A and B are shown apart, each in its own frame.
Chain A
Amino acid sequence: MSRVPAQSPHTAPQMSRVPAQSPHTADDSSHCGAQKLSAESRFIAQPYGSAGCELAPGRFRTRVFGKRQPRSPASAPEEEQTPELGPPSASGPPDPALGPIPRLPGTPAPIPRPALAGAPAAQGAALEGGRRSRSCCSVELYSGAFLLCCRLDPYGFERPEDFDYAAYEEFFSTYLVILTRRAIKWSKLLKGSSRVQTSMTVKRYIRKGVPLEHRARVWMGVSGAQAQMDRNPGYYHRLLQGERNDSLEEAIRTDMNRTFPDNVNFRRGADPCLQKTLYNVLLAHGRHNRGVGYCQGMNFIAGYLILITKNEEESFWLLDALVGRILPDYYSPAMLGLKTDQEVLGELVRTKLPAVAALMDGHGVLWTLVVSRWFICLFVDILPVETVLRIWDCLFNEGSKIIFRVALTLIKQHQAFILEATSFADVCEKFKEITRGRFVTECHTFMQKIFSEPGSLPMTTITRLRERCRAKLLAQG
């Protein structure tokens, strides 16, 4: 079955899909192994290697993509006029401006970031299934490279058993065109400059999505993490060698096997196993920011940072940017910032979507029950991976206001559905359901919606609401 989207004949190899064998039989998740792929495409197929990973015969959580629905012809429009699509001129080795990629301690060889768009090396490459392969992958390698029909997504997460490949592919064939266009534009923007400057152009570009190959660099630049890292050479490694703190170490260790068990790179048997990297990042951060230490939820955030940067030290500085500067005090022991922002969301809903606020009041559902994870985990494990990354693109650049935009969009879009709830339990269930399905999976349209749906949301309003809610919480004790 040909899986090449008609719009971009130059981008994808001929693909065929082999039905997945029963996951119960497989103990090897390196089934996407592609010996003949170039280094950059091999990263995508086998991001960190994955020897002997146990595969659970079922899933505790699911990232479900909703059933196929007719596609709206107007989905994912792009505002900009772009030149006719041709083979991307910027394909080939990574931009030299990116500089050498630092190595993860304990990693045998540096893992190159995927090359920019095109991945010509993969074209026509014979994709050989790994030993006792569970499923062969039809691969679409393109800017950000997605394995459409693979049991693993490009980041190493297992797709749920009921993942709707056909619907995802339908979405992706459209998204691929956008990714292509964005990749070309980004490569032009970044050409010749070693630093990502913040500007209106960059802001506009970021809202339209940062290509995977530039994501780490852009996040590092716009968040100030790069500047901090440059100012403090060796600091991260000194933290790792710092004074022991048993309770901190124990708290982090408790979560090691409970962070992304559905990602092959985070399983205990993976080689190299990202658990150690994760442990180091969290430990260093706990020693660096003693007021916060370690808070559950940071494990998922650091996990994503590691998957994107593939670099321990950068992950640490990005985590520091989030916890120390971008987010209010969500993670400190009193969690006052978290409680404040939950109330702020409640207030915003009261103003913008009063019927939903009335429903919550009527059933006595506190916001903390339905949205605390949204704030603490920054949508990790709540929304689809690709959507979370697009949200984070804006979060690093524009700050914590983005979280309200996402939350309000989710609620507004599903207002009628939420209002069908007739009980406390119903309300809770509806709030889980609105984070699944086509609306959130189609990340590009979703990101356009977050800037239009909630309407005006000036920072002055947020600041004022934060002050008021914080004072109220403090008065309550």
Chain B
Amino acid sequence: MLVGDSGVGKTCLLVRFKDGAFLAGTFISTVGIDFRNKVLDVDGMKVKLQIWDTAGQERFRSVTQAYYRDAHALLLLYDVTNKASFDNIQAWLTEIQEHAQHNVVLMLLGNKVDSAQEHVVKREDGEKLAKEYGLPFMETSAKTGLNVDLAFLAIAKELKQRTMKASSEPHFRLHEYVKREGRGAFCCRP
């Protein structure tokens, strides 16, 4: 499930992951809650992700809350060019603690890292907050695709591991994987 303030790019991130596309100026505000499916190949095994995209406006939380408790994973987004969206992360985390399963897979993403606008939220700010709450963290760009597939793949790997109890494969560590595989905003621009 994708959560975060209005306009941080939740739908764009999902469409980038689902269709590999970013079409500026074609996105509409998400109203209520939307649903998409994607099948991923995780180490030779098909994992079906049911992804819920939610409206960011605060009042819709009461509508989307019902789905928190069933979510296995949450991607919490903020916009690196919008300080308020970062400041609200704490409120989102409170919301999540209150309504989601206690062992829900949670990841913090700082989106729009491609933007030419000033990055008012520095990478270090995101890292610091993530560390404080023990969350895996990456900066992403739905526009360039930076770390987008990786974020969903990491979630899928983690969920697969949880489902396959007696696994002979080496233990998957979400934090380390994200840290190792995640790319910086400037090293991989086309």
Contacts and interface: CB of A to CB of B under 8 A. Distances in A.
Interface of A: 54, 56-61, 251, 254-255, 257-262, 267-268, 295-297, 299-300, 331-335, 338-339, 364, 366, 368-369, 372-373, 376-377, 381, 424-425, 428-429
B97 interface: no
B57 interface: yes
B35 interface: yes
Main secondary structure of the interface of A (DSSP, over half): loop
Given A56-B25, A261-B26, 4 more contacts: A56-B24, A254-B29, A258-B7, A296-B60
Which of A58, A254, A334, A425 is the most central at the interface, judged by chain B CB atoms within 10 Å of its CB?
A: A254
A129 B43 CA distance: 55
A261 B6 CA distance: 17
Top 8 closest A-B pairs, CB basis?
Answer: A372-B32, A60-B26, A254-B7, A258-B29, A333-B59, A297-B31, A428-B35, A56-B26
> What range describes how many residues of B lie at the interface?
20 to 34
Contact of B28 (A260, A338, A368, A428): A260
Which of B28, B58, B67 is the most central at the interface, judged by chain A CB atoms within 10 Å of its CB?
A: B28
A262 B27 CA distance: 9
Interface string B1-20: 00000110000000100000
A429 B35 CA distance: 8
A297 B29 CA distance: 8
Nearest to B55: A296
Which of A262, A296, A376 is the most central at the interface, judged by chain B CB atoms within 10 Å of its CB?
A: A296
Interface string B37-51: 100000000001010
Nearest to A298: B31
B63 interface: yes
Given A54-B25, A257-B25, A368 B57 contact: no
B145 to A, nearest CB: 16
B33 A369 contact: yes
Contacts of A262: 26
A200 to B, nearest CB: 36
Given A58-B23, A267-B25, A368 B7 contact: no
Contact of B26 (A59, A297, A300): A59
A291 to B, nearest CB: 12
B59 A295 contact: yes
Nearest to B6: A254
Contact of B60 (A54, A260, A335): A335
